[in-house]
Chains A and B, each alone.
Chain A
């Protein structure tokens, strides 16, 4: 069954340091997409990064990179050089293309706090 797991309810990181947010997934589909979103206290959902199941290279977008380990079914988000504005909830998400007809599901989230 399609499932996303984020095991870190909360994380702290010092400003300017790097942090890794964990995400594991379960799927029997060969074709799927993985996403990370940021949700500040305002409630809006901000797209950060996407990784397709057939992409051989890890995705990167500015200070964000996705550490994709397909065999281990993990898609961890790495934020380099943390900033105070990075404090927010972070959600990992997955979409299955064939088995679930495009069902997009989210993990429980990780609350990141950046300390000055």
Chain B
């Protein structure tokens, strides 16, 4: 079955540690996105990529980094520079060109302990 997979579902991190969230899709989509969602809030765009080996900062990129070495993979690293990383992280992908909807993964809930 085609889809977009995020792992892990729950993640705990100690303060000062970097952590990488995985996002894989087998939909052959060109575009991929990372969002952060805080309780009761909307989705804020962290990074997005329209093509392999290229990505752009979203509205809240500070403290995060990404790579797009393969079409199907768009991992997000939450670095120690991110002051308040506890949140729900959602990854999405789409064909590109804005002509169809984006498909979302199930999300990763990150908690800093």
Contact = CB atoms under 8 A, between A and B. Distances in A.
Interface of A: 6, 31-33, 35, 43-45, 47, 50, 52, 91, 93, 95-97, 101-109
Given A102-B50, A105-B45, A108-B42, A35 B106 contact: no
Interface string B75-113: 000000000000010101010111111111011000000
A32 B98 contact: yes
Given A35-B101, A45-B92, A96-B98, A102 B31 contact: yes
A104 B107 CA distance: 17
Interface of B: 31, 33, 35, 41-45, 48, 50, 56, 58-59, 88, 90, 92, 94, 96-104, 106-107
Given A43-B88, A45-B92, A50-B101, A91 B48 contact: no
A66 to B, nearest CB: 13
Contacts of A106: 35, 42-45
Contact of B42 (A35, A52, A91, A97): A91
A93 B44 CA distance: 11
A109 B41 contact: yes
A32 B98 CA distance: 7
A42 to B, nearest CB: 9
B37 to A, nearest CB: 8
Nearest to A96: B98
A91 B102 CA distance: 13
B41 A47 contact: no
